[in-house]
Structure formats: structure tokens, C-alpha cells
């Protein structure tokens, strides 16, 4: 029989991660579930300092927490409890299911990174306020990129994209994670990449050699909103909370009918990251940019790879 903690770890397999590396593992020990980083899945060029790995692990942690609350279980979390564990979830007693968590949990299998251009429908101020509150509840912050700041964000993304594509080590890493064997259940297949086209802010080219599986269409993110997820510092615990906040943001946006696409390349290269930091007027450290909007296309996205849970969850009797 599958236990609530095991189900929570299974739900966490849907969490977003840089290059879809899914760089985490779980150890289920009695009434506790430990989250660990999988160092072999750390990206050597894209994520030299491990920031994106910790954000990804934080997102998985939040997914697990949401699944437990939605299933009607109290739980406590210890952050960096000792050893090599990033966090330890301890399950408590049965409680009434949290309606908000139920709504987010329903969005977990539906949430996708949609790299296609969004249409003209705008994200409302009320929706952005709700998203900001969800992020702040997890210990991070959200900055809405103002119209007069879009050009600076676009420049940062373009500079980062050019710098990375001109780096042979980056090209090799990109090729590794866009040409994964199907059995690995990870990476970013070119079937989910979008053809190049006019966009308000450039998006990462996952198929620079051609072969992108999705057409760019006639839209170019006219109604999209761009937000910067940021925090007070880049200590490991801050980045883990940043990942939890990212998960809260993406799940709530999905539950509200929006499409989402994290943009990490503008943060991966030092000089573009400083441009993004400038958007915050010196009040914090940028973790990630997220594009929010309403899709112009009704066609479903191609399947997303996911690792076999047997390779991720270890049950210790």
C-alpha cells in the first residue's frame, strides 16, 4: 500500500527543474521524508554555483507539501536538518484537507512550461496580486517588470542567449539534455522547443540546429506579464525557499488558467544577471524570471519526460 509520504514524493516528480534535470531524490524513513540533491544532475556550465539546482529542489519540496495538505495530513518541515539532506518532512496527524492546497494539487499534473508565444489577453492586476501573496507566503518576493523595464529585460535575455550559444561547453551541455534517450525520463526534447520568432523578450533556443517541434505562430507575447522572483540572499536556505515560492507561483497560475514559462538564462550569465538585478532597484537577489500569460494556441503540448519514481524514491525499512 502506498503511504501518504510516498504519494507526496510521487507528486513532486511533476515539479519544474532547470533543463528538466529533476535533480533530487527522496528517502522515506518511517514517518519522515528526506529531500536530497542529486549532484550528478547539476549543470556544469548553466548552473556553476548550484543556484538553479536548489531552486529546482525547493519546487519539488513544495509540491510534496501541497500533496500532503491536500490529502489531509499535517506535516512539519526541517530545513537542512543535518547530513546531506536539504529538508526533512515529518508527517503528523490526519486533519481536514486544505481547500487551497486541494486546488493547487489539482494543478500539479496539469502544470507545464509553455514556450509558445502568448496572446493578447492580459494578466490582471488582481491575478498578479494573488500570485505575489502566494510567493511571499513562501519567503520570497515578486517584482512585476514594468513596461519601461521590458527593454532592459529583453537585452539581458538576448545577451545571455548569445553568450551561452557561443560557448562550446554550453552547446555540449544543451545537446546532452535535449537528446536524452527516452528511457531516462528527463531532459528537454526538441519536440517541446519553439521555432525562433519575434518575441517581446527572447526565449532560450533549445534547438539551435533546427528541428523545433512547435511553430512560433503569429503571436509575440503581447499580453504577457514578466515577473522576477527574488529573495534577500543567495544562501542555500534562501534558494530552497525561492524554489518553494516558484512552485506556489506556477501552480496558482495554472489553477487560474494561465500558462507559465520560467526564464533562467537571463540569470545564468553574470552581466545579464546584473541587468535583471537592476530591475529590483537594489532590494534583493534575482532568482528567476517567469513569463505569465494566456496561450494563443489550443493544441496540447507534447508529452513531458518524467523519471521513474523507483529511481528517485528510496524506502528505508
In this prediction, what percent of the chain has a pLDDT beyond 90?
91
Per the CB < 8 A criterion, the answer to whether 258 and 292 are in contact is: yes
In this prediction, what percent of the chain has a pLDDT beyond 70?
100
pLDDT beyond 90 at 174: yes
Q: What is the mean pLDDT of the chain?
A: 96
- Tens digits of per-residue pLDDT, 112-154? 999 999 999 999 999 999 999 999 999 999 999 999 999 999 9
pLDDT score at 317: 78
The mean pLDDT value for 56-82 works out to 98
Nearest by Cα to 304 from 180, 197, 199, 210: 180
| Gap between the Cα atoms of 231 and 141, Å rounded | 6
CATH label, 4-111+309-316, candidates 3.40.50.460, 3.40.640.10, 3.40.109.10, 3.40.50.1000: 3.40.109.10
CATH 3.90.950.10 applies to domain 125-293:
no
For the chain, the structural domain boundaries read: 4-111+309-316, 125-293
Nearest by Cα to 230 from 112, 122, 145: 145
What is Dmax (Cα atoms) for the chain?
57
Asked whether this chain's domains 4-111+309-316 and 125-293 adopt the same fold, the reply is yes
Residues ≥6 apart with Cβ < 8 Å to 99: none
Model's pTM, two decimal places? 0.97
- Tens digits of per-residue pLDDT, 196-215? 888 999 999 999 988 999 98
Amino acid at each position: 500500500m502506498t503511504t501518504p509520504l510516498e504519494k507526496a514524493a510521487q507528486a513532486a516528480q511533476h515539479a519544474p527543474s532547470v533543463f528538466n534535470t529533476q535533480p533530487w531524490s527522496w528517502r522515506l524513513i518511517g514517518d519522515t521524508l528526506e529531500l536530497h540533491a542529486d549532484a550528478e544532475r547539476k549543470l556544469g556550465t548553466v548552473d556553476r554555483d548550484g543556484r538553479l539546482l536548489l531552486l529546482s529542489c525547493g519546487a519539488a519540496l513544495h509540491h510534496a507539501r501541497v500533496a500532503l495538505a491536500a490529502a489531509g495530513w499535517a506535516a512539519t518541515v526541517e530545513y537542512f536538518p543535518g547530513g546531506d539532506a536539504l529538508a526533512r518532512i515529518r508527517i503528523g496527524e490526519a486533519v481536514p484537507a486544505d481547500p487551497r492546497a486541494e486546488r493547487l494539487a489539482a494543478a500539479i499534473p496539469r502544470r507545464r512550461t509553455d514556450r509558445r508565444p502568448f496572446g493578447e489577453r492580459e494578466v490582471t492586476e488582481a491575478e498578479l496580486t494573488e500570485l505575489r501573496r502566494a510567493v511571499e507566503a513562501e519567503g520570497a518576493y515578486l517584482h512585476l517588470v514594468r513596461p519601461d523595464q521590458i527593454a532592459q529585460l529583453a537585452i539581458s535575455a538576448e545577451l545571455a542567449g548569445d553568450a551561452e550559444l557561443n560557448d562550446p561547453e554550453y552547446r555540449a551541455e544543451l545537446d546532452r539534455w535535449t537528446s536524452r534517450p527516452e528511457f531516462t525520463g528527463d531532459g528537454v526534447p526538441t519536440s517541446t522547443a519553439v521555432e525562433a520568432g519575434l518575441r517581446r523578450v527572447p526565449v532560450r533556443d533549445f534547438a539551435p540546429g533546427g528541428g523545433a517541434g512547435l511553430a512560433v505562430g503569429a503571436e509575440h507575447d503581447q499580453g504577457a506579464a514578466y515577473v522576477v522572483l527574488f529573495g534577500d540572499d543567495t544562501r542555500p536556505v534562501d534558494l530552497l525557499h525561492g524554489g518553494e515560492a516558484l512552485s506556489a507561483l506556477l501552480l496558482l497560475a495554472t489553477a487560474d488558467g494561465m500558462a507559465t514559462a520560467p526564464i533562467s538564462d537571463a540569470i545564468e550569465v553574470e552581466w545579464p544577471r546584473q541587468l535583471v538585478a537592476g530591475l529590483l532597484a537594489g532590494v534583493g537577489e534575482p532568482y528567476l524570471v517567469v513569463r505569465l500569460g494566456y496561450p494563443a494556441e489550443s493544441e496540447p503540448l507534447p508529452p513531458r519526460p518524467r523519471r521513474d519514481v523507483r529511481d528517485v524514491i528510496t524506502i528505508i525499512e
